[in-house]
Structure 1
């Protein structure tokens, strides 16, 4: 990262080339031979975009072929193993089990490619003629492996002209995200991991401690990554879209999805929900469209029954709100979201049902010994701090940091950043949760 930033500041006119090259090196460092998959996908989609810009006939066939190509990559590498497992579970033992390692960030760069092809097909923006510019958009290292999901029309102009930003605007946001991840999310991870372990003694206390720990962990982990990506983007002249807006302040499930992983919600709205008819064709088709979106949303996160059930759960909650009206309760909304996170995090549905059962019915017993061991005083203090931050009113800190008071930016830059750097150097850093998606 420092080498890339220095190269950009010394040679700003070569920004796209520097970012493109650095991003491919970054991906190859983590993904190895799977870089060839990313490069082949980039080549096919760049060619398809140029073709859509040049031809008038058969444009629909080209866009269908390109989308099919992208979804095929996702289906093979992400879902083939799950599909063959289910077929073998039906008794067809002769079907070979497909076992493929999941390429880093495949869900994110696939959605970037699809948004590009559709935007060019709709003539929302012209195709990117420069290969270097296109590689910069797809492989940009701040957001390549875990978002935010950037639709091509949102950033096409920035590929030609950098936005105002620089170190002063970007680094405090980057440092804030790193602190969220390292100080808070990584402190909560051992507690959540111990509670969700298949052999955990699932008393009601254990279940609620584990569920709340993961609820806080996933927010600070993923929003921390998004803050880091946005901060890095500003440092190299790109303004990436916001991804979180205090989601646990939501007063309904509809409101929650306007605040959580906003770039994914907007993507599904613009490229799936509205093309299916949105809410324009009567209530029943609206309910159908909502369920379809959230089944896809669940599967996008992973090939497992837990993700599918989680998507169905949120889809049913949104349909219920359409039928009965919004909840208008922050407490009830958060409670429903916590239940959903249990299913999302659990290694299997039996583990999820066991924890949910302990949460809704009283199961006496002490805290599981491994959870108790993980919940040392330092982690409990972070747990309490995270709860306070989540329940604070007002806008999220990150959205105001760039223009906020100087003491706030100074504290993040000169206190949070060095402290998190020490923690990383001490080896306490763990991978981001959304790397696996």
Structure 2
């Protein structure tokens, strides 16, 4: 006689209506109404195997529950973005995840059942990104975002494994950067300070001097306020960054506006421990999540003179947020506008076009040319070891560059009103 099964162990039975064997298992029900999950197979043996799999899924789930409705990759990714990632990562990172999901993950594997997603599907998704003509870096980022979503699905008991772990992370090719040398940097300094005449001085000349003498990131400088510039100790506190963030709809019912920033109840979803201050529109000041992201860097002599001049000029300008650099009307400088201004400066100086972020390489050269001690250069640009700093240095620095920077600074002081 077959021993009687314990309650909750499920059952296997034959269904005559469609000539299929069924594996059925009871699930928890908050309402008290019976709930069961059923899976079918062609033979009794296969149905028994599926019953064992169902028991394992129920045991692995945090609440002992199993997803009864078919959950596809698209549905899960949206749930992950809205309910999990938005509360764990900073808004700009969450926005990056959302863009990757919408543009690359959903078109490639969105309709696949989450539990049936295979390593081949993941590899196919990666290939679809490169087939669009995008870089290997974009493919690697897409893989990473999908892996994070699947990792969360595993924690939530939606899947029994993260299939992305079974696929090697795509290798990324190194991009050829257009690096401005110290000689190019000197031309930029001369162009924005109005040297040689008759070039008119740039109102924000010190902005570009700061980029080339600190190696700071764009957001760190655009978010710099005067209370974090210490001329007595000759230091700059790069604790806050300016960022443009997207507002979300906060209305329960459609408000009639398409964009989140127009919603009367607009909101910004962020982790509870994220420090931030709203300035205007979509521009915010934010602090790094960890103390390792906070940097206090020294002000080298050439930059000190430029900042002092900028401080004197700013007294006569509107500046409600006390930012070091603003628009003529006193508003924060939008990062996109700042980037356009950088490319215009490079064109004015007659040097190769390069990303503003790549000026960090040039900053190392400029600091060496200004005879700043190597240990200070390492601290200024935030490198953990001095060997990395030396790797940023190009050949050809000479006293001529230091002399040129000094003359450019002196010329600006004479030309400025």
Q: TM-score surpassing 0.5?
A: no
Shorter-normalised TM range? under 0.3
More strand by share: 2
Larger Rg: 2
The structure showing larger relative contact order (alpha-carbon pairs under 8 Å, at least 6 residues apart) is 1
